[in-house]
Amino acid sequence: MTTADFRIDHHALAALHAQETQRFIDTHPRSVALSGEDAAHYLFGVPLHWMRDWPTPATLHVQRAEGNRLWCADGHEYLDFCLGDTGAMFGHSPAPVARAIAAQAQRGLTAMLPSTLTSEVGRRLAECFGLPRWQVTLSASDANRFVLRWARAVTGRRKVLVFDGCYHGTVDDTLVDMDAQQRTITRASLLGQVHDLALGTVVVPFTDIAAVEAALARGDVACVLTEPALTNCGLVPPQPGFLAQLQAACRRHAALFVLDETHTVSSGWGGHARVEGLSPDFIVVGKAVAGGLPCAVYGFTEAMNGRMETAKHAAPDGHSGIGTTLSANLLAMAALHASLGEVMTAAAYDQMLATAAAVEARLRETLQQHGAPWTVTRLGARMELQFCTEPPANAVQARAAMDEGVERALHLWLLNRGIVITPFHNMLLVSPQTRFGDAQPLVTALGDFLSAVRA
């Protein structure tokens, strides 16, 4: 079958969506009832309003999660390719982390003092990510926010440079977009934001090195903050050599080079920077780093450490605006220790990457069999099913390849067949517990969907 004549039948798609909505309701009475109860106490009926971004008519309630499996309140079992949008990338409740948390829970949860495990955690972070100095936060959002603050403090420069289509958590400076004239604007969807974010941020298209150079040449950019590949607007891999060029441009213009590896830690042991031989000034790793417990880290060079200490000494006494009370708490340090030592191992990566390659191959084969003009873009253990024939080169192309109607129907179809993928775009993650055989139900369901919606 050729891809040239592949069309979605939008009537069939709408009928399928309605039928799958009813099927979900009929087969999930307990989740429907729990959603009804939650409606009385939560905004949009959920404890985090993003939980309504799933395409289900009622919110799926989780009864249990283990390895790469979820069980819902109605007792259905799911193959989980979402893995908490990366928080559970090394599997749900990795046994060493679960044991460490249980043991630490008997010995104190938080003291605003380092635990006896702290020095070993520091050694393990340095060994894994190749940077000598570290700070621990509660979330990747916080880590990014604090890195931007340090970058401005040590350089004395106001601006940060990010790429169109970026997402780095709830960091106001990064919640910006590029308009049609390539000007920086505050992201329209932001709630309650009253500041003009363009005053402190400049946005350029991903991998447009000329635009980066022009922005850096103005001399007011403290740092460039980017993911090694954009993973929050579909998956946009960098052009070969781009990251090295970006690093060189930062060095030339005395701007700091910051890599947010929260998602790209999927690329391999030590993250994407290590895999590609890059030398960022800072890296940020969140979500999965402590096995899914709220915890993130940022690492930096010895030179940066000196500049940060100088900046702090030079400032008047008082709040630095960096850090939170529960950061690096005793429980988080115990989880980090177990995760770095026994979960995020090179052997776990070997397993994940081999399985991910096999899942990618099976997905591609299925697309080909059905003549679907779509592609699978993979970054280690993370991959994205994209409604375009080639991986997008920037956010404009990535957005053009999105189709919310197809996406939501597909996600619901998969869910009703025991498969969970990330509700935002079509991201799939493979954990060390995911098996080659887990690709079969996924590709069967995808193939059946393509047959059902094809014109």
CB of 109 within 8 A of CB of 101? no
Judged by CB under 6 A, the chain residues 281 through 320 that form the site for ligand PMP are 286-287
Backbone angles phi, psi at 198, to 5 degrees: -65, -15
Nearest alpha carbon to residue 293 among 264, 326, 331:
331
CB of 410 within 8 A of CB of 449? yes
Location of structure tokens 């709630």: 191
Strand intervals (E) in 175-242: 176-178, 184-186, 201-204, 221-226
Q: What DSSP string describes 406-441?
A: HHHHHHHHHHTTTEE--SSTTEEE--TT--GGGHHH
**Closest approach of Cβ 152 to ligand PMP, in Å?**
19
Candidates 173, 227, 281, 438; binder of ligand PMP (CB under 6 A) is 227
Q: Which is nearer to ligand PMP, 167 or 449 (CB)?
A: 167
Q: Which is nearer to ligand PMP, 137 or 366 (CB)?
A: 137
Instruction: Assess 377 for contact with ligand PMP (CB under 6 A).
Output: no
Written as six digits, the tokens of 327 are 């950061």
**Closest approach of Cβ 156 to ligand PMP, in Å?**
26
Which of these ranges, 88-96, 111-119, 137-145, 365-373, lies near ligand PMP under the rule CB under 6 A?
A: 137-145
212 beta partners? none
| Strand bridging mode 221-226 / 256-260 | parallel
Q: Which string of b and e fits 180-194 if b means at least 16 CB within 10 Å?
A: eeeebebeeeeeeee
Q: Which is nearer to ligand PMP, 173 or 438 (CB)?
A: 173
HSE, side-chain direction, 13 A CA sphere, residue 55? 26
H-run or E-run covering 377 = strand 375-379
Judged by CB under 6 A, the chain residues 236 through 265 that form the site for ligand PMP are 260, 262-263
Instruction: Assess 431 for contact with ligand PMP (CB under 6 A).
Output: no
316 CB-contact burial (10 Å; exposed 0-12 / middle 13-18 / buried 19+): exposed
Candidates 136, 140, 278, 348; binder of ligand PMP (CB under 6 A) is 140
Backbone angles phi, psi at 443, to 5 degrees: -75, -30
Candidates 31, 139, 186, 339; binder of ligand PMP (CB under 6 A) is 139
How many helices (H) and strands (E) are present in the chain, helices listed first? 14, 16
**Closest approach of Cβ 322 to ligand PMP, in Å?**
16
Instruction: Assess 384 for contact with ligand PMP (CB under 6 A).
Output: no
**Closest approach of Cβ 309 to ligand PMP, in Å?**
26
**Which positions from 26 to 65 touch ligand PMP by CB under 6 A, shown as an x/- string?**
----------------------------------------
Which of these ranges, 36-44, 138-146, 216-224, 370-378, lies near ligand PMP under the rule CB under 6 A?
A: 138-146
Instruction: Assess 382 for contact with ligand PMP (CB under 6 A).
Output: no
**Closest approach of Cβ 164 to ligand PMP, in Å?**
15
Candidates 81, 163, 167, 387; binder of ligand PMP (CB under 6 A) is 167
CB of 88 within 8 A of CB of 80? yes
Instruction: Assess 80 for contact with ligand PMP (CB under 6 A).
Output: no
Candidates 56, 141, 267, 386; binder of ligand PMP (CB under 6 A) is 141
| Residues 6+ away with beta carbon under 8 Å from 425 | 233, 234, 384, 402, 407
H-run or E-run covering 64 = strand 62-66
Q: What DSSP string describes 110-130?
A: --SS--TTHHHHHHHHHHHHS
Candidates 157, 168, 274, 370; binder of ligand PMP (CB under 6 A) is 168
C-alpha angle 114-118-119 in degrees, rounded to nearest 5: 130
**Closest approach of Cβ 147 to ligand PMP, in Å?**
11
Candidates 232, 266, 375, 397; binder of ligand PMP (CB under 6 A) is 232
Backbone angles phi, psi at 136, to 5 degrees: -120, 135
**Closest approach of Cβ 141 to ligand PMP, in Å?**
3
Instruction: Assess 272 for contact with ligand PMP (CB under 6 A).
Output: no
Cβ count within 10 A of residue 44? 14
Instruction: Assess 433 for contact with ligand PMP (CB under 6 A).
Output: no
Instruction: Assess 155 for contact with ligand PMP (CB under 6 A).
Output: no
Judged by CB under 6 A, the chain residues 93 through 122 that form the site for ligand PMP are none
Which of these ranges, 135-143, 189-197, 365-373, 383-391, lies near ligand PMP under the rule CB under 6 A?
A: 135-143
**Closest approach of Cβ 95 to ligand PMP, in Å?**
23
Q: Which is nearer to ligand PMP, 173 or 227 (CB)?
A: 227
**Closest approach of Cβ 236 to ligand PMP, in Å?**
12
Interface contacts to ligand PMP, rule CB under 6 A: 85, 139-141, 144, 167-169, 227, 232, 260, 262-263, 286-287
